[in-house]
Copies of this chain bind each other. A is one copy, B any other.
Amino acid sequence: MNQTSRQIAELVRGELIGAEDVVLVSVASLRNAGPSDLSYAEAKFHGEAAQSKAGCVIVSAGSAPLANRTVILVRNPKLAFANAAAVLLRKSESDPAIHSTAVMDPSATIGAGTRVGAGCVVGRNVKIGISCVLYPRVVVYPGVEIGNNVIIHAGAVIGADGFGFVKDGEKYVPFPQVGTVIIEDDVEIGANTCIDRGSLETTVIRRGTKIDNLVQIAHNVEIGEHTVIAAQTGISGSSIVGPHSIIAGQVGIGEHARLDAHTILGGQAGVLNGKHVRGGEILWGTPARPLKEFLEQQAHLTRLPKWMKEIKRRLGLRGESDS
């Protein structure tokens, strides 16, 4: 949806300097932008902004003015740019809601403005709210409930059976996986990510949470609201991730773990089964420990070869404890 520079300035509550009637069609980086593009620059990039061919640039208020450029002054240029982009890039609603190659069970329902892409498969009794986008080849198993404004990228699988078995001698008997999945409003789910249905309970992704590609979320997990989970992270069965948490890439969280609100986990961290991470800590490593401890231990490990040499020299030891 095209916007004028004035409309964008009003939208982001910024101060417009320059032409009011620049027609903006899309967004671009300072380097790639043309006269119909909106761009943005943090204060340190105002020099580059002065060289950009962008039709309009959102810049940081309180910086030096840019001569001969249409700019919008705001406090947080990146956020204003993201909000403006959401309006500029809003899809027209003219596309058919359900692609002809999608397979929708007759009992499944979708809300106004929701689009279901090519090759999607939406099962029995699935409920999808308004203004959602299912990109091509998403599979939603029976009974799953999806809120409003949810985006699901290609190849994601929502509601497959959880991975639970009971041992019977040497064999594994499947434990029933008859729970479901609830995805609340404003959630985004990445490509080829898997969110399993609950076994007897429900797997829940609370509102506003963003999940990257190739993430695994097991049965009965609950992810709190406004949490971010980066690519290839795996969360095992029945664990709870508190709201406002930030989980980096390739993190592993064991079964029945519990992370309080505002937990931050560094990349490849591993949280043990049953662990309770309290009070919004920052953790790293496997097993995950407070960041400060992890870094101190790593620093000591790095110095260990030198120290051991010195200590052995002082004590007159000659490696007799080497294995």
Contact = CB atoms under 8 A, between A and B. Distances in A.
A103 B137 CA distance: 11
A216 B153 CA distance: 14
A151 B89 CA distance: 32
A190 B121 contact: no
A148 interface: no
Contacts of A172: 208, 210, 226, 228
Interface stretch (A56-64, A66-74, A108-116, A155-163): A155-163
Interface in A158-202: 160-161, 163, 165-168, 170-176, 178, 186, 188, 190-192, 194, 196, 200-201
Given A155-B155, A267-B252, A301 B297 contact: yes
A160 B208 contact: no
Interface in A101-157: 101, 103, 117-119, 121, 135-137, 139, 141, 151, 153-155, 157
A118 B89 contact: no
A136 B155 contact: no
A296 interface: yes
A11 interface: no
A157 B160 contact: no
A322 interface: yes
A191 B190 contact: no
Given A190-B194, A267-B252, A307-B321, A82 B174 contact: yes
A121 B139 contact: no
A305 B323 CA distance: 10
Interface stretch (A2-10, A16-24, A27-35, A43-51): A27-35
Contacts of A13: none
A166 B267 CA distance: 20
A210 B89 contact: no
Contact of A216 (B78, B136, B200, B214): B214
A299 to B, nearest CB: 8
Interface in A273-323: 285-287, 289, 293, 296-298, 300-311, 314-315, 317, 320-323
The 3 closest A-B pairs by CB, nearest first: A29-B200, A85-B176, A121-B136
